[in-house]
Chain A
Amino acid sequence: KQEVTQIPAALSVPEGENLVLNCSFTDSAIYNLQWFRQDPGKGLTSLLLIQSSQREQTSGRLNASLDKSSGRSTLYIAASQPGDSATYLCAVSDDYKLSFGAGTTVTVRA
């Protein structure tokens, strides 16, 4: 069974600092890895999708890397802003199911 772990569970940084969020998974036989953002009481918003054949994806201040062989992904958020405060979830796809990590709750202090 696929196990997805996100460390740390919570993170508090001052505005302007770069954020580094980690995700690890136990089974490397994945189709892709997706990073989501969830605001309190809201749904999940897709941030980045990395296919299993790719090493990284970038969108604006966000960059995500994938090392499938070691079962790791890292989400980098450059120059953090208070609006980046949210819970970030990673999920790996094994055909019909996404397996989710528990998330990292980020607080960016103004």
Chain B
Amino acid sequence: NAGVTQTPKFQVLKTGQSMTLQCAQDMNHEYMSWYRQDPGMGLRLIHYSVGAGITDQGEVPNGYNVSRSTTEDFPLRLLSAAPSQTSVYFCASRRDRGGTGELFFGEGSRLTVL
């Protein structure tokens, strides 16, 4: 059972470039989310989804797009990368839509924007 899988693990971009961080889970979880982790700021929610076709914004959504066409996948798109988006990105999922379940995290994607 792979759990939550994120790719790529490392990425370097130039300002203005776009890219997609991939996230897949094989646990048939309804809820999926993206967080970013920055020194001194902790983990902050970017976007989340409670099922295929349903997404919503978190605390820091600007500059990011998401979609959820299948239960398994929840890609995060950076439209025009900025140095402020240099961070470690984590995808997380849980079985239920509501907040009572255990959240499982991927290993993270480390992004540097030059």
Which residues of A are interface residues toward B (Cβ below 8 A)? 30-32, 34, 36, 42-46, 49, 51, 89, 91, 93-98, 100-103
Contacts and interface: CB of A to CB of B under 8 A. Distances in A.
B100 A93 contact: yes
A42 B107 contact: yes
Interface of B: 31, 40, 42-43, 45, 48, 50, 56, 58-59, 90, 92, 98-108
B31 to A, nearest CB: 8
Contacts of A97: 45, 48, 58-59
Main secondary structure of the interface of A (DSSP, over half): strand
Contacts of A95: 98-99
Given A95-B98, A96-B50, A98-B45, A43 B107 contact: yes
